Structure 1
Amino acid sequence: MTAELPEPSPRPVPSGELRASHDDREAVVEQLRDAAAEGRIDLDELDSRLEQALTSKTYAELAVLTADLPKSPSAAAAAENLPPLVLKGGMYGASRGPGRWEVPGRVIAHAGVGGVSLDFTRVECRLTEVVVEAYGETSGVTIVIPDGWATDTTGMDPGFGGLKDKTTPDRLPGTPLIRLTGSGGMAGVVIRHPNKRERRKLDGNA
């Protein structure tokens, strides 16, 4: 009797092939209109790219439309001038997101006893880099970043709690890099992409 071979596990979907939301398309449309106003693309090309943006289904299709365009200098400068966002878990915990929130160039998270959660999945970030200074302390820090964003954890001290980096290196053009610093402390720091439950909520709110 021949033993049955196990079925192969499903192939992970590359981040560029993930489905784009209405908000993703609108963000690209806004960037294209800004580029036309600055004289970077002419009106005919604007019309062509807008049509493609509104019918794009994946992140990769959208990324192609803005790959040759710089970030809006005014928007990036405004974000860089924002004061650091400081979150302190204290006794009861603290969180930012999911939802729309303005991302500064630096975020500082002290987990304390209650822990801290940072969710970037619904933000519109025009910065090329965001520094997240995380301290796991007693209850840990969890950071969730969108598919297509990447992270650099070389400046992080894992401490006793450790660092769990569950992100992929597949950074899409025009997306920010999360530069993670700080210490894992006793409970550790986790940085990852959305899990299955979070993806369902994102798809449902698209």
Structure 2
Amino acid sequence: MTDVPEDLPQLIDEDERDAAVRRLQEAYAAGRIPHDEMDARLDKVLTAKTQGDLVSAVASLPAEKQGSTSTIGAASGRIKRHGAWQVPQTLKVESAYARVHLDLSQAVIEYPVVDIELQLGTGRAKITVPRDATVDLDGLHTEWKDMRYKAPRRARPGDGPTIRIFGAMGYGRLTVRHARR
């Protein structure tokens, strides 16, 4: 049996590396660091192997914005959001019998990825996403009717937010469409 030192450097994963890259990009975009400093720090982040390497590359930068989570619920009736409303990073929509209409076309979306969790019994759900958004429906389970979604023909990947819709729907249909303007 060999002794393993307890203070081994902790290796980083890709999520930690991605978070550090985002922090550097945000700091540069906000004018907190010049271009040459961002390049040098970015090189450190991309070649970092341990937590210590990563921490030194993002030292003195403001902490990453924490995402917000909101829950909208109704037993029956309608759940509706439209206009210039603030979209949280994670939105949970829960209802037994309500109709749901979420219009994100004019909403304020601050996050590159928005998660919408649907937990619906019966009733229809309609989600309108921004024209340049990417939609991911892989995590949604429907019991009765299939969902309706047709990706735009002229999609420009990477331009808009990614909207991930997941959860479960009982006896209703989900329709997702892109805004026309």
Matched with 1:38 is 32
**What's the CA shift for 1:175?**
2.1
Question: Scaled by the length of structure 2, what TM-score is found?
Answer: 0.60
**What's the CA shift for 1:109?**
1.4
1:183 aligns with 2:129: no
**What's the CA shift for 1:152?**
1.0
Q: Structure 2 counterpart of 1:183, which letter? A: A
Please state which structure has a larger fraction of its residues in strand: 2
Q: Distance in 2 between matches of 1:171 and 1:139?
A: 32
Q: Structure 2 counterpart of 1:190, which letter? A: T
Q: Call closer, same or farther: CA 1:194–1:136 in 2, change over 3 Å.
A: farther
What aligned pairs does 1:1-206 form with structure 2 within 5 A after superposition? 35=29, 37-40=31-34, 77-78=65-66, 80=67, 82=68, 84-101=69-86, 103-168=87-152, 170-194=155-179, 199=181
Question: Scaled by the length of structure 1, what TM-score is found?
Answer: 0.53
- Percent identity, aligned pairs only? 21
How many residue pairs are counted as aligned between the two chains?
132
2:76 and 2:95 in contact (8 A); partners too: no
Q: Distance in 1 between matches of 2:149 and 2:179?
A: 13
Q: Distance in 1 between matches of 2:90 and 2:35?
A: 32
**What's the CA shift for 1:160?**
0.6
Q: Call closer, same or farther: CA 1:173–1:87 in 2, change over 3 Å.
A: same
CA RMSD of aligned residues (A): 3.1
Q: Could you list the runs of 5+ residues in structure 2 that have no partner in the other structure?
A: 1-25, 37-60
4+ runs of 1 displaced by more than 4 Å? 73-76
**What's the CA shift for 1:166?**
2.8
Q: Structure 1 counterpart of 2:113, which letter? A: E
Deviates most, 171-180 or 148-157: 171-180
Please state which structure has a larger fraction of its residues in helix: 1
- SS at 2:65 equivalent: helix
Q: Call closer, same or farther: CA 1:154–1:36 in 2, change over 3 Å.
A: closer
- 1:24-51 Cα distance to aligned partner (Å, 9 max, x none): xxxxxxxx9x726234569xxxxxxxxx
**What's the CA shift for 1:155?**
1.2
Q: Larger Cα Rg: Structure 1 or Structure 2? A: 2
Q: Distance in 2 between matches of 1:86 and 1:147?
A: 25
1:35 and 1:41 in contact (8 A); partners too: no
**What's the CA shift for 1:100?**
2.9
- SS at 2:29 equivalent: helix
